[in-house]
Amino acid sequence: MSTLHLMRTSAYQQNDLTQCLDLLQANDAIVLLDDGCYNLSHHLLTANISNPIYHINEHAIARAMLDQKKISQAITLAELPALFFTFDKVITWQ
Amino acid sequence: MSTLHLMRTSAYQQNDLTQCLDLLQANDAIVLLDDGCYNLSHHLLTANISNPIYHINEHAIARAMLDQKKISQAITLAELPALFFTFDKVITWQ
Amino acid sequence: MQQKSLAILNSSSSFDRTQGRDALDIALIFGSYEQRVALFFQGEGVRQLVNRQQADIIQAKDYLATFSALPFYDVEEIYVCQHSLTDRALTTDFHLDNVSVLSAGDFAKKLQQFDMVLRF
Amino acid sequence: MQQKSLAILNSSSSFDRTQGRDALDIALIFGSYEQRVALFFQGEGVRQLVNRQQADIIQAKDYLATFSALPFYDVEEIYVCQHSLTDRALTTDFHLDNVSVLSAGDFAKKLQQFDMVLRF
Amino acid sequence: MQSLAFIITTSPLDNRTVTSINLITAALHNNIKVLGVFFYQQGVCNANKDIIIASDEFQPLKAWQNLQQKYDIPLHLCVTAGEKHGLIVEEQQANIDDVFTLSGLGELVELSIQATRVIQL
Amino acid sequence: MQSLAFIITTSPLDNRTVTSINLITAALHNNIKVLGVFFYQQGVCNANKDIIIASDEFQPLKAWQNLQQKYDIPLHLCVTAGEKHGLIVEEQQANIDDVFTLSGLGELVELSIQATRVIQL
């Protein structure tokens, strides 16, 4: 079983990312979208996460967020729907 | 100068309390109301705060929250308006 | 009817905003359509299970009382994250009997068993 | 007209929800009534000052561009908390020139000077 | 005489709005002058007269009506916020209850200047 | 064939709703079947036809209309949520745009069972 986690909030503001990481299983992945892109610099993600992390490129650029630590793969919003089917389910954190 | 801080959110959920404490000055006080009453057990308040802390008794009781560490003075919502005038201003955290 | 199992992940406290009530409405309707439904409580969501809450004092709707009706809709599975309880210095003194307290790891694994997760 | 100085404490990020825009509208109206107004940025609010944001890419209103109109409303004071910047690994590369970067202590003391604080 | 003005930004469906109404009522019972309530952001939805809430639950609109009628407190609805929330059609109060007055943000400035304290809720 | 259903809970004034609309559009462009969109909680406000947004800004209602008309996607408005948000008067669509359909929560169950994946936004 695998889950795609859609992370729409900033861990600098609220604790959704912490709770998400508590649930994270070996085959899961995280997508950062909207304000979730602020997590690109957050220590919860820049340390110790071996799962795939994606971020919506246009959402990060709009916020002037760079993936400086190269922790994430940039995708477009248009590429996201296909990802939904490569995991068994999707959980949204917002 | 003094400020009365109305804290309506839980530090277990978001970071308003952290930011409030960053602003706290010697003559300030904090009132916990609504979900802010969950902070009665939070380590940010149970350690090291010498400022007066109040909580709205009916809001705490509704949530089955007890002030087990005796960090706060219970007041009723009816007593709150008078407090507004004993401080120079009021900041709401919600 | 086809089956799709639903996990509702409750992460909001009891009374501020309407998340808890809106989640419960979803649980009841899926239950009445004979879908497998389970309630999961994590983070501030664990507040919803705490015993001796008194909604009437703050003129809130006592939707928590409706939790006891869940078995009539065949919603029998209620899971709570022990880690979230410990963080909040909360005990297992709940207003419901049939709550399963799971370690963070078991809680996550149990959630994986469901086809679909909605979070409130 | 009587005077009451207003500090607007911005604690929300740039685009999700409408907090930043709603705060700006308040700043502009108080300015046009010739009240002293200052903008304070703390927590996620500091995101609003970051240079090279591009609202149009996400079809958001570029209200951040309106910040440059603040001096025409005699809103000249803009303060940002250094501690909040450091936490987020942000520099002082802002899209505005006249931003005063204050230590957490000075930021708090400056805020105390105002008669009234609204937080968004 | 000491006075208060209130800004309401929370939805009528949110229990925090009950708190706000009770707090304003408590101020009045303590003989504190309330100069007005200004509804901003999502708070404008409190004025929607078509909201249907089960009859055994707290009725925020009724509570606002009582406050206004019993104590003659101005309830100012921010016009811009009202438009953004679909409450105003062609500059008329479409589905806004009569106890509310359409006001610009300038009214908030006036209230703020006059009131001893402004409470944002 | 793989299919999606969406649940929208965010306000039309929130930029996250732009994301949701673009995501649904992207799915359709990728020839993924979208069985329907269910509006719940504050998401029902997307159906309010009286919302006024400055003409140089993104118009969420227009975007939903386009989606519905171009791709014939059912837009289900949760009746209970609609009532709580003051959009429904005497069981009629009061200020709800015609492209939306009033539906019960049962519709969400049907969509959930049929769709390969349900996306809550």
Check which CATH number belongs to the domain holding A34 and give it: 3.40.1260.10
DSSP H or E stretch at residue B54: strand B53-56
Q: Do D112 and B93 touch (CB under 8 A)?
A: no
E3 burial class (0-12, 13-18, 19+ CB within 10 angstroms)? middle
Residue B25: count of CB within 10 angstroms of its CB: 14
| Residues of chain B contacting residue A12, judged by C-beta atoms under 8 Å apart | 15
Dist CA B13 CA B94 (whole Å): 12
Q: Would the pLDDT of D1 be above 70?
A: no
Q: Flag the least confident range among D53-62, E86-95, F48-57, F98-107.
A: E86-95
Q: Measured between CB atoms, does E15 come within 8 Å of chain F? A: no
Residue F46 CB contacts under 8 Å (≥ 6 apart), including other chains: F8, F11, F12, F17, F39, F60, F61, F64
- Report the C-alpha dihedral over residues E26, E7, C12, A36, rounded to 10 degrees: -160
pLDDT digits (tens, 9 = 90+) for B73-92: 999 999 999 999 999 999 99
- Smallest Cβ–Cβ distance between D115 and the set B19, B89, B92 belongs to B89
The residue with tokens 């910047």 is: D85
Region D99-111 average pLDDT: 98
- From chain F, the residues in CB contact with C3 under 8 A are 113
Average of pLDDT values for E19-36?
97
Residue E52, SS3 per DSSP: coil
Task: Judge contact between D40 and D107, C-beta under 8 A.
Answer: yes
A91–chain C nearest CA distance, Å: 6
The domain spanning residue D114 has which CATH number? 3.40.1260.10
Predicted confidence (pLDDT) per residue in F2-58, tens digit: 999 999 999 999 999 999 999 999 999 999 999 999 999 999 999 999 999 999 999
| pLDDT of amino acid E100 | 97
Domain range enclosing B34 = 3-93
pLDDT of E3 above 80: yes
With cut-offs at 50, 70 and 90, classify the pLDDT of residue A62. very high
C-alpha B43/C-alpha B34 separation (Å) is 19
What is the residue range of C14's domain? 5-119
What is d(CA A24, CA A91) in angstroms, rounded to the nearest whole number?
A: 11
Nearest chain E residue (CA) to F86: E51
Neighbours of chain A (3+ CB pairs under 8 A): B, C, D, F
Split into its structural domains, chain B has a count of 1
Tens of pLDDT along E55-79? 999 999 999 999 999 999 999 999 9
**Which residues in E lie closer than 8 A to residue D118 (C-beta atoms)?**
7, 118, 120
Candidate from B22, B89, B93 with C-beta closest to D116: B89
Containing F2, the helix (H) or strand (E) segment is: none
User: Domain of E62: which CATH number?
Assistant: 3.40.1260.10
D58 closest CB neighbour out of F18, F54, F56: F18
* Domain ranges, residue E87: 3-120
E89/E84 Cα distance (integer angstroms) = 11
CA–CA separation, F108 vs B7, rounded Å? 37
Interface check F59 vs D, CB under 8 A: no
CB D80 within 8 A of CB D49: yes
| CA distances (Å), origin A49, targets A19, A25, D24 | 14, 11, 38
Mutant choice from C15, C18, C41, C47 vs B, greatest count of B C-beta within 10 A: C47
Across the interface, of A34, A82, A84, the residue whose CB is closest to F119 is A84
Number of domains in chain C: 1
Rounded Cα–Cα distance for residues A60 and A34 (Å)? 8
User: Confidence class of residue C1 from pLDDT cuts 50, 70 and 90?
Assistant: low
CA distance B76 to chain A (A): 29
Which 8-state DSSP code applies to residue F4? E
Reduced 3-state DSSP string for D76-94? CEEEEEHHHHHHCCCCCCE
User: How many domains are there within chain E?
Assistant: 1
Q: D21 — contact with chain F (CB < 8 Å)?
A: no
At D77, is the pLDDT very low, low, confident or very high (cuts 50, 70, 90)? very high
B93 — contact with chain D (CB < 8 Å)?
Answer: yes
